[in-house]
């Protein structure tokens, strides 16, 4: 089920009303049933994968907690990792690896006849796989206790607000909230509604409107100029942010309606001083997952500055690859890693340290960082690496700069993109904590803006494909 669908607008209030009507001890049953219904609304068959992940990790965690020997616990951990990553690999990466192996062999005149078939990616698999893996790793490391109540654990894996696109929650944060059934106040409800509306605004008004311009530009790379491609890259970065953070806002708001506090996944990442800061504020639940379960263990192998630089690049390539089985995502991660390390080195140069301390210099540094992020996102949006290279090549070589040049193609889409970007700027400037003196005015105006400016493209959230 899509958040931006009428189905969800019916589903969510029904679940919330039922949640308050039934006794607290039965609420987990309602939420579990609702979560499975939510997932099966897309394709019922793939719920089997969710059940497999849930059952394997439930049993493995209990066995791990009972095992006395580290070797035995490690064996159970391996079972969990193999099951979860095996499913993820098959559905997400199998064709990519097979294709590249075949192409590699062809370079040596070894021809393999293989009939590739499309494998439909189960929605949300990258998210719930990482979520359940964090649980078994935490149990293995004795950072979390094994959950003995199958119902609560199944709800942790499948909780509908964050099932298909995060935030990737840790068991120690989420399961106790299900059990505690925290009291919901009027402020919670107000915050939840405001957050959901903000999410819809970001998705339906900003991201979907920007997608009109971005899609036009990327479907006509050869026919567009450098400045148009640059603007396409600029608007895509904003689209991506609004699409994903919009989803997260709706997820956080939906959960909060029932008293559950999900973690914030974004903390104004685009206006960061450098890539290190950016990656600490963007998709926080994934970056913290990678930090805790990949970067920290890698750092223990070798802590030297050069090794840490390599680990940082490895981690960002992994984050890129997590997004999809395509070389574009690997390039995206690699570029981010290289820029991050370069910035880390330059930070220690006295001149750059001085610039950073100066307010104007600091603003310029943030602006430069923002531009680097736009340019890196070109690979994220491109269909293949060749397209990404073409876009960047044209941006850096085609300097036809004039207003008429900008408006020569897709004028309407461009002007609408400017309008919604300014709306977004106003929103993030005046709307920091979602607390308003006249909340009714905020709700009314936001709904009116969504109705008038929203797009009915039935676009999936970009992160659903991951």
Partner 1 sequence: MYPFHNRKNFLTFLAPFAVAIVIALAIDQFFQHVILPKETELSNSQKVKRLMEENHPDEIPVFGSSKGRSAFIPDTLGENVFNYSMPKCNFDIIEFLLEIELAKDKDSPIIIEFNNRSFISMPSHTIDLYTFMPLTYDERVVEFLRRNDRLDNYQLIPGIRYFGSYIQYLRALNRTETDRKQMSRGGFFLDHYPGDELFGTFVNKRYAMIERRDELEAKARSHRTMTLTDKMELEQLNIALNFAEDTARIGKFESMVRAHPHRDVFMIYSPQHHSEVVGIQNFDKIDSLFNHWNTNFPNLHAYDYSRLALSDSCFKNSSHINLRGARIFSSQLKKDIGHLLQTD
The 423-462 site mask, x for binding partner 1 (CB under 8 A), equals ----------------xxx-xx--xx--xxxxxxx-----
Start-to-end C-alpha separation, the chain: 15
Torsion of CA 89, 172, 33, 60, to 10 degrees: 50
- Residues 76 and 78: their CA atoms lie apart, in Å, by 5
CB of 316 to partner 1, least distance (A): 24
Q: Does 67 bind partner 1 (CB under 8 A)?
A: no
Q: Does 292 bind partner 1 (CB under 8 A)?
A: no
Question: In the window 297-336, what residues touch partner 1 (CB under 8 A)?
Answer: none
Q: Is 156:147 a contact under the CB 8 Å cutoff?
A: yes
Q: Which is nearer to partner 1, 430 or 440 (CB)?
A: 440
Tokens representing residue 256 in the block: 């909060």
Applying CB under 8 A, the span of 81-89, 109-117, 236-244, 339-347 interacting with partner 1 comes to: 109-117
Q: Which long-range contacts (CB under 8 A, 24 or more apart) does 356-363 make?
A: 356/273, 362/273
* Active site (catalytic) residues: 323
Question: In the window 267-286, what residues touch partner 1 (CB under 8 A)?
Answer: none
The 343-382 site mask, x for binding partner 1 (CB under 8 A), equals ----------------------------------------
CB of 466 to partner 1, least distance (A): 18
Q: Which is nearer to partner 1, 100 or 148 (CB)?
A: 100
* Residue recorded with tokens 């893996």: 133
Question: In the window 146-205, what residues touch partner 1 (CB under 8 A)?
Answer: 183-186, 188-190
Residues 6+ apart with CB under 8 A from 281: 266, 267, 268, 269, 272
Per DSSP, the three-state class of 326 is coil
- Phi and psi at 141, nearest 5°, equal -85, 5
Q: Which of 65, 95, 280, 390 binds partner 1 (CB under 8 A)?
A: 95
Q: Is 230:169 a contact under the CB 8 Å cutoff?
A: no
CB of 183 to partner 1, least distance (A): 8
Applying CB under 8 A, the span of 53-61, 166-174, 216-224, 307-315 interacting with partner 1 comes to: 216-224
Q: Which is nearer to partner 1, 113 or 429 (CB)?
A: 113
CB of 188 to partner 1, least distance (A): 7
CB of 356 to partner 1, least distance (A): 42
Q: Which is nearer to partner 1, 69 or 107 (CB)?
A: 107
CB of 86 to partner 1, least distance (A): 20
DSSP string covering 194-215, please?
Answer: HHHHHHHIIIIIIIHHHHHHHH
Q: Does 110 bind partner 1 (CB under 8 A)?
A: no
Q: Quick one: DSSP state of residue 142?
A: T
Q: Which of 118, 306, 348, 404 binds partner 1 (CB under 8 A)?
A: 118
Q: Which of 349, 367, 412, 426 binds partner 1 (CB under 8 A)?
A: 412
Q: Is 423:205 a contact under the CB 8 Å cutoff?
A: yes
Q: Which is nearer to partner 1, 157 or 229 (CB)?
A: 229
Q: Is 1:41 a contact under the CB 8 Å cutoff?
A: yes
- Residues 286 and 365: their CA atoms lie apart, in Å, by 26
Torsion of CA 42, 45, 49, 51, to 10 degrees: 100
Sort 76 into a burial class: Cβ within 10 Å, 0-12 / 13-18 / 19+.
buried
Q: Does 104 bind partner 1 (CB under 8 A)?
A: no
CB of 175 to partner 1, least distance (A): 22
Residues that bind partner 1 (CB under 8 A): 6, 20, 95, 99, 102-103, 106, 111-114, 116-118, 183-186, 188-190, 220, 222-223, 384, 412, 416, 439-441, 443-444, 447-448, 451-457
């Amino acid at each position: 089920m899509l958040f931006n669908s009428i189905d969800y607008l019916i589903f969510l209030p029904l679940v919330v009303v039922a949640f308050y009507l039934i006794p607290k001890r039965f609420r987990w049953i309602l939420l579990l049933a609702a979560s499975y219904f939510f997932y099966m609304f897309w394709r019922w068959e793939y719920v089997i994968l969710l059940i497999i992940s849930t059952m394997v990790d439930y049993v493995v965690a209990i066995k791990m907690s009972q095992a006395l020997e580290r070797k035995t616990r490690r064996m159970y951990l391996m079972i969990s990792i193999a099951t979860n990553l095996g499913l993820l690999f098959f559905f997400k990466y199998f064709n990519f690896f097979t294709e590249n192996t075949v192409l590699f062999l062809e370079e040596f005149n070894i021809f393999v006849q293989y009939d590739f078939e499309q494998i439909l990616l189960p929605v949300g698999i990258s998210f719930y796989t990482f979520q359940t893996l964090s649980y078994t790793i935490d149990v293995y490391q004795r950072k979390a206790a094994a959950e003995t109540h199958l119902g609560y654990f199944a709800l942790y894996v499948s909780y509908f607000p964050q099932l298909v696109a995060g935030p990737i929650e840790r068991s120690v944060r989420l399961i106790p909230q299900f059990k505690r059934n925290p009291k919901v106040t009027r402020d919670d409800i107000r915050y939840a509604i405001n957050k959901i509306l903000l999410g819809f605004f970001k998705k339906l008004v900003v991201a979907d409107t920007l997608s009109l311009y971005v899609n036009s530009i990327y479907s006509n790379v050869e026919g567009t100029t450098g400045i148009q491609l640059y603007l396409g890259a600029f608007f895509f970065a904003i689209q991506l942010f609004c699409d994903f953070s919009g989803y997260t806002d709706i997820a956080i708001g939906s959960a909060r309606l029932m008293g559950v506090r999900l973690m914030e996944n974004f903390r104004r990442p685009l206006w960061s001083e450098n890539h290190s800061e950016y990656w600490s504020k963007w998709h926080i639940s994934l970056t913290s997952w990678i930090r805790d379960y990949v970067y920290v263990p890698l750092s223990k192998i070798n802590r030297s500055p050069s090794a840490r630089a390599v680990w940082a690049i490895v981690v960002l390539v992994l984050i890129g690859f997590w997004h999809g089985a395509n070389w574009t995502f690997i390039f995206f991660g690699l570029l981010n890693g290289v820029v991050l390390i370069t910035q880390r080195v330059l930070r220690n140069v006295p001149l750059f340290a001085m610039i950073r301390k100066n307010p104007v210099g600091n603003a310029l540094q943030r602006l430069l960082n923002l531009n680097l992020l736009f340019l890196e996102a070109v690979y994220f949006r491109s269909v293949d690496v060749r397209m990404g290279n073409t876009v960047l090549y044209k941006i850096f070589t085609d300097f036809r700069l004039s207003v008429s040049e900008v408006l020569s193609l897709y004028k309407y889409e461009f002007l609408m993109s400017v309008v919604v970007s300014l709306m977004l700027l106003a929103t993030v400037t005046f709307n920091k904590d979602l607390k308003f003196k006249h909340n009714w005015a905020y709700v009314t105006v936001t709904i009116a803006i969504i109705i008038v400016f929203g797009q009915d493209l039935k676009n999936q959230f970009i992160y659903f494909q991951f």
